[in-house]
Amino acid sequence: MGRFALLKPVSAVYAIVIMLCSTLILEAQTHAGAPCATPGEYPEWLAGFLANPNRANARNTEEIIYLPITFHTLGTDDGEGHYSTIKIFESLCRLNADFSPYKIQFYLNGEINKVNRSRYYDHDSFSEGQKMMQSFKKSLSINAFITKSAPSGACGYYHPSADGIVVVKNCMGGSAHTLTHEVGHWLSLPHTFQGWEGVTFDSSEPTPNFLRISGRDTTFVESVSGDNCRRAGDRFCDTSPDYLSEGWSCNREFESIAIQIDPNGIDFRSDGKNYMSYSSDACQSEFSTEQVEAMRGYIDFAKSFYKVASPKYGPVSAEPVNQVYPLRNDKVGHEQIRLEWDHHPNATHYVVNVSRFSFFVDIDYEFIVESNHITVDLPVDKKWYWRIKPYNQNDVCSDFSDFGGFTTYDITDVEEIQDNNYLDVYPTIISPAQPVVNIDFQFNDILPAQIELFSIAGTKITQRTLP
């Protein structure tokens, strides 16, 4: 004989366009060894900002700025190739970690938008990218489109006329800084090697004093002395010269292995720590002080209507999510399986993964829900593992719960309870004052058994496996 009590769950079932220049600027971060995408002209706003001697006192640099970002994951016409939700979350966590020292943070603005368009998923022209952005972008938000490829083999690019960025999915992730680089462009920053886009430095040739941009304009080449820093290169005086426009790796000092020679004949190595260089992810770790001033100034000048004063939600609790059912090693019918867990502090949504592997190397099913449960059908006679990740729009960096493992079986027969067994469920009507259902049972010869409890509306409330 046995007894257990089930608690009844309680549930509550514009845009201002600022044109900085008339010529298209396309900034791109590339795979190592791949060519840079399209050369860019220097933003007029930034030139004016850096010429302002009072710029450093123009803002409250202690204020944390919160900006919205919307992710669009591209797939084929058949829905294949999408970047996973978890990987997007890891990339957003990396973005916020990179910007945290500078008091700029980004929050998830709306649901992740899945777009099934092969022409955009694997596009090789900026015009296609522009059409994609204009078709799907969300207003008053940074729009990040995750694709299989980008023009010129780039890892990503910023398209100012469409006000969107593209990041190739192989350049995303928790240890990659391509998203940080492209958001830097969105916030007005040029490359550290400004003017060298599409030009390969050749140490066997004299370094010129000028470089031609877009076939008609010229820019000064920055010297090591820094005497022309305000009118040469990226025009930031606290970033060192950089002539490397293809992907490169760094040495132990986080400098380029390649030695360059400035117009005065002085040797130097590029600084690999700066996010706006083309150094590899392992080298990058910072923006310069003047770059940060420029980004915060640009937000105040051109993007102030994007800002929110404070996050809508606090951090998600660091405590692990408590799984309610099924528990590890449970056996359950393979249809209408109710996966249930406790509500988690400050969580508004949950990612639920179901996999055949306990280390989740392959995710068979992924769900995003707002409640603390989901009902699923799974293939029969298999071992399944499941886990939950709580999150809200301001915090997607919480850990998954421990995994639970259960086996599915098929219900093949129905029998009446015999005289030597009994099942008693009471009371038949429950109230908010006493939301308890009692089940008394004695099963001498039909264990294991599964008990499912339904509401009068036919909704499964819970299920338990006996014993």
Neighbours of 57 (CB within 10 A): 7
Q: Are residues 283 and 333 in the same domain?
A: no
Three-state secondary-structure class, residue 91: helix
CATH number of the domain to which 122 belongs: 3.40.390.10
Q: Are residues 396 and 446 in the same domain?
A: no
- Nearest Cα neighbor of 366 from 116, 89, 126 is 89
Neighbours of 263 (CB within 10 A): 18
Helix ranges, 187-303 (H): 289-302
State the total domains in the chain.
3
Answer yes or no: is 274 within a domain. Answer: yes
Q: Are strands 349-355 and 383-391 parallel, antiparallel or unpaired?
A: antiparallel
Q: Are residues 380 and 432 in the same domain?
A: no
DSSP letter at 170 equals G
- Give the separation between CA 283 and CA 250, rounded to whole angstroms: 6
- For residue 216 the two structure tokens come to 């008609």
- Nearest Cα neighbor of 250 from 225, 295, 285 is 285
> Which class for 368: exposed (0-12), middle (13-18), buried (19 or more C-beta within 10 A)?
middle
- Give the separation between CA 393 and CA 70, rounded to whole angstroms: 11
Domain of residue 444: give its range. Answer: 422-466
Answer yes or no: is 416 within a domain. Answer: no
Q: Which segments of the chain have a pLDDT < 50? A: 1-25, 32-36, 38-39
Q: Are strands 142-147 and 210-213 parallel, antiparallel or unpaired?
A: unpaired
Condensed to tens digits (0 to 9), the pLDDT of residues 158-190 reads: 998 999 999 999 999 999 999 999 999 999 999
Q: Are residues 269 and 384 in the same domain?
A: no
- For residue 384 the two structure tokens come to 């399944």
Give residue 213's pLDDT: 75
Degrees to nearest 5, angle at CA 20 with 16 and 23: 120
Q: Are residues 302 and 428 in the same domain?
A: no
- Report how far Cα 282 is from the mean position of its chain's Cα atoms: 19
Give residue 31's pLDDT: 54
Q: Are residues 339 and 294 in the same domain?
A: no
Q: Are residues 118 and 196 in the same domain?
A: yes
Condensed to tens digits (0 to 9), the pLDDT of residues 374-432 reads: 999 999 999 999 999 999 999 999 999 999 999 998 876 556 666 667 777 777 777 77
CATH number of the domain to which 357 belongs: 2.60.40.10
R_g (Cα) of the chain, nearest Å: 28
Q: Decide which of 251, 272, 306 is a domain's last residue.
A: 306
> Which class for 252: exposed (0-12), middle (13-18), buried (19 or more C-beta within 10 A)?
exposed
Answer yes or no: is 376 within a domain. Answer: yes
Q: Are residues 224 and 345 in the same domain?
A: no
Is the Cα torsion angle 360, 366, 372, 373 positive or negative in sign?
A: negative
Q: Are residues 376 and 277 in the same domain?
A: no
Answer yes or no: is 286 within a domain. Answer: yes
Q: What residue ranges in 316-435 does DSSP mark as E strands? A: 323-325, 330-333, 337-341, 349-355, 365-369, 373-376, 383-391, 404-409, 422-426
Give residue 408's pLDDT: 94
Give residue 207's pLDDT: 95
Answer yes or no: is 414 within a domain. Answer: no
Q: Are residues 294 and 326 in the same domain?
A: no
Mean pLDDT of the chain: 86
- Give the separation between CA 38 and CA 30, rounded to whole angstroms: 11
Q: Are residues 60 and 183 in the same domain?
A: yes
Give residue 56's pLDDT: 62
What is the value of pTM for the model shown?
0.82
Answer yes or no: is 13 within a domain. Answer: no
Q: Are residues 187 and 135 in the same domain?
A: yes
Answer yes or no: is 258 within a domain. Answer: yes
Q: Decide which of 306, 330, 357 is a domain's last residue.
A: 306
Answer yes or no: is 57 within a domain. Answer: yes
